[in-house]
Amino acid sequence: MTELTAPLTAQGSLWSPVWLSLKLAGLTTLVLFVLGTPLAWWLARTRSRIKPAIEAVTALPLVLPPTVLGFYLLVVLSPNAPIGRFFLEVTGDTLTFSFTGLVVASVIYSLPFMVQPLATAFEAVGRGPIEAAASLGASPFDAFVSVALPLSARGFLTAAVLTFTHTLGEFGVVLMVGGNIPSETRVLSIAIYDHVETLRYAEAHTLAAGLLVFSFGVLWAVYTLDRKSRLYVH
């Protein structure tokens, strides 16, 4: 019985990071749709003087080393900091070294991959269609839903794919904030690193090759759909 269950246990531990990474990427993408869409809309339409500062803050994860961002998130989310202490008092759990903490860190780290494509798509829509909808009696929200969203469909698809795939490949930030806890914070990239570090190249190759094929397939599908939509429009 032990000989039979050992391979099953090993197989379960091998694929557990895959499901955890997919869950993390999915939740991060959904959260950023909610948070990133209004921010991108504001950036695309505002003439405020603080716009460059907000754009710079939004883009910081693109230029900061992941370990730097991960370190400061670890400090901010720790039980010794106000945010981490408040979360601990309310929920009884810590943000650091937990899946919830990984979601928070991933949302911040992947923010520009959601906001920038959406802001570009909203800018491409322009003010004309929105003003035309307003002249017909549409409220700002109605104009956004009925005009801006359909015209920005490509931007939403690009933002979703970039955010999801970028979250799947996170390493430095999630390692700093979540550590390497099996079935809790041990996501795909950390599992690959752990397998390589312990010279388990077969397991590392299985996970790495799977991620490579998945990423290529997703990007291929997106480019194919985008090409077909362009041909249809023209």
Per-residue confidence (pLDDT) for residue 133, from 0 to 100: 85
End-to-end CA distance of the chain: 64
Query: Cα separation of 118 and 209, whole Å?
Result: 30
116 vs 143: which has the higher pLDDT: 116
Per-residue confidence (pLDDT) for residue 3, from 0 to 100: 40
**CA nearest neighbour of 142 among 129, 154, 153:** 129
Q: What is the pTM of this model?
A: 0.86
pLDDT band at 10 (very low <50, low <70, confident <90, very high): very low
Q: Answer whether residue 28 shows pLDDT above 90.
A: yes
Q: Residue 139 carries which side chain, given as an amino acid letter?
A: S
pLDDT band at 33 (very low <50, low <70, confident <90, very high): very high
Per-residue confidence (pLDDT) for residue 218, from 0 to 100: 85
Q: Which domains does the chain have, with CATH numbers?
A: 16-233 (1.10.3720.10)
Q: Answer whether residue 127 shows pLDDT above 80.
A: yes
List pLDDT tens digits, range 56-76: 999 999 999 999 999 999 999
Taking residues 123-132, what's their average pLDDT? 87
C-alpha dist (Å) from residue 40 to 84, 189, 209: 28, 29, 34
Residues 6+ apart with CB under 8 A from 35: 107, 111
Per-residue confidence (pLDDT) for residue 2, from 0 to 100: 40
Q: What whole-number percentage of the chain has pLDDT above 90? A: 64
- Maximal C-alpha separation, the chain: 74
pLDDT band at 230 (very low <50, low <70, confident <90, very high): low
Q: What share of the chain is helix, strand, coil (3-state, %, to 5)?
A: 80, 0, 20
Structure tokens at 31: 């959260």
List pLDDT tens digits, range 83-107: 999 999 999 999 999 999 999 999 9
Per-residue confidence (pLDDT) for residue 130, from 0 to 100: 85
C-alpha dist (Å) from residue 172 to 14, 34, 167, 178, 211: 20, 25, 11, 10, 17
DSSP 100-158: HHHHHHHHHHTHHHHHHHHHHHHHHH-SHHHHHHHHTT--HHHHIIIIIHHHTHHHHHH
Q: Are 150 and 130 in contact (CB under 8 A)?
A: no
Taking residues 178-186, what's their average pLDDT? 91
Taking residues 124-153, what's their average pLDDT? 86
Q: Which helix (H) or strand (E) holds 174?
A: helix 172-178
pLDDT band at 145 (very low <50, low <70, confident <90, very high): confident
**CA nearest neighbour of 144 among 168, 161, 169, 127:** 127
pLDDT, the chain, mean: 88
